[in-house]
Structure 1
Amino acid sequence: MRLLVLGGTHHVGRAVVETALERGDHVTTLNRGRSRRPDPGVEPLTADRADPAAVEAALGTREWDAAIDTWAWAPSAVAHAADLLADRVGHYGYVSSRGVYRWPWPPGADERAPLVDGDPDSADGADYAAAKRGGELAALRAFGDRALLARAGMILGPYEDVGRIPWWLRRVERGGRVLAPGPADAPLQYVDARDLAAWMLTAADRGLGGAFNAAGPSGATTVGGLLGTMVEVTGADTELLWAAPDALEEAGLSLGTELGLRFPGVPDPTGLHDADVSAAAAQGLHCRPVGDTVADTWAWLRAEGDPEPRPDAPDPATWSDPAKERELLDRLTGRTPADRS
């Protein structure tokens, strides 16, 4: 397959490139060319997505069998690329998000749940949910039923530049007592970026279009399973001490929000981890065991170091306050400040 990847240097984009190369596809990438060298075998095109003239010049009059777009900011960039490619690309896969559903997310919701408003021509990417919905509308306007909208939830795996799992791995690596957002048996729903990439490429082969909640089954692991696996993989001398959501809320700590277990001021689960993913599963999406995802992410971190966070990634410093954590840990274990000294 002749594949154009709009992006291709981080997380899902990099997973798409590597998976496509393994399949034997001819891969072209379009990005700014600033983050990392192209993989061997990749044909790189250079342009800033925010510069329509540069994108048009870079793409020229070329044709591809499929394109996969990982853009997460102003929808107008998706609209411009999709409009340029509509007559020259057979299939357009857009990496969207479950954030396009209107809050609060209904438990067990499928693809028919209410959606946020979005403008495909908006040059404003500040509202992530609206931007992703705008990107969806742009892809649909240009490609119709030739567009695949992959509404991913929590995307894990190597190359993550959002910071969630790399941050937790480094936190666990340091050892000692680690405050963890409970309850430990809270179910998680996720997709490994490489599994999402493989599914989107297979969908492109088949010409599969439409919107899909793109994740593995709810409860394939729990937050205890995820963090416990990190302890095992890193080999750290770490003790996880679990705090209930209301205790974290009372202490002014936002732990748990980074994993979508709750929002500040809303201690109950957010709905991120109980989507109906039966439609995607019926079309072949599967998710590898969490142990494989964590081990491979840890191997990548050790080999390449911590990634530079993407511009819109949350600041991990807001997830943790050492002084507040020590206070809550002491309360959970019955220690006093005198015990620490």
Structure 2
Amino acid sequence: MASSFAEHGYDVHYLLRTILNSRTYQLPAVDSAADPADRKEKFVFRGPQYRRLTAEQFVDAISAMTGEWRVLQPRKAGEGSYSREWRLKASSLTRTLGRPIRDSAVTERNTAPSTLQALEMANGETAATLLHRGALRMLGQLPEPAPNRFDSGVFRSDAIRVDAEISGARELRLLLEDHDSYDPARVTAGWAGARLVGPEGEVPLAELPSRPALQTGTIKMKGRNAQSAVLAPLSSELVFDLSGRRFTHFQATVGVDESSQTSDISPSVRAFVFTEKPDRMQLVRVAGAPPVPPPPTLASVDDAISRVYLHALGREPSTGERASARRFFSSGGSAKLNSAGLEDFLWAVVMLPEFQFIR
């Protein structure tokens, strides 16, 4: 193989084709545990061992099947991109499946099944959200995310000037998102000098009613004098009704109070301004195509069953499997395509050993 690789000008694509088309590569997986451990005969390769999908492969396989990908957010204000799982911070789902955190060097993963994995798969929010959104996306029912009117990027001690264009908006939504602060509950952050600007002049934001009730106070940002501000905890959203008003801009300075600038709190915050209800899974604007082209919208129950089986298991379902799958979509005796049934069907398929193990 090495000489052939050299003879073809070190063409990597040729090398990959050779490997993938070889009989050795295409041998089915074998169960090494079935062989006696103390056998004395010479080892003969009969196929690869059964191997479970890694945490990243598991999530990517579901994303490729459904078209639902996580977004890689830049630290600076700007557009994100749909990304494979390995480029993103580990979630509770991938950690339980053996993906290590990035805080330390890990040379070996624990691939053994565990009770925590069963709990995460059955009741975990990460897996449930991925499958719920994936089902909606496969049906073409997932709403387009509202674009933000302002994105601060990640900040720690900087005071960020806000000037968001909001002409024609019926509501104003202010979000402060935690971005891996050490102690988010102790972070004091807010919008100083917040005001709405329009043809009739300026109106302090604090004069408008909000949901939830507004909390005001004083904030002293690094390098600035203390100012009155609209305060809010991290991972919060303030909603203001602008109906009948002709405001064109929202202006403020967003930042973290100096009292939170300590090593045991280590604030890390990102602020957003929206004029529509945001998609909490996609707050940044996204540019570019996903890693895998999105699948076409499902047309029928049988289309959904065939698509999921072919993508997840590489085969059509048997007659019995198709009949069982149709029960997920049954309501009143007839099978009808719906997101709840598709979500449950997806969960049932991705839990199969046939999906989770490379054979």
TM-score with structure 1 length normalisation?
0.22
> Rg larger in 1 or in 2?
2
The structure with the greater share of residues assigned to helix is: 1
Structure ranking higher on relative contact order (CA contacts 8 Å, 6+ apart): 2
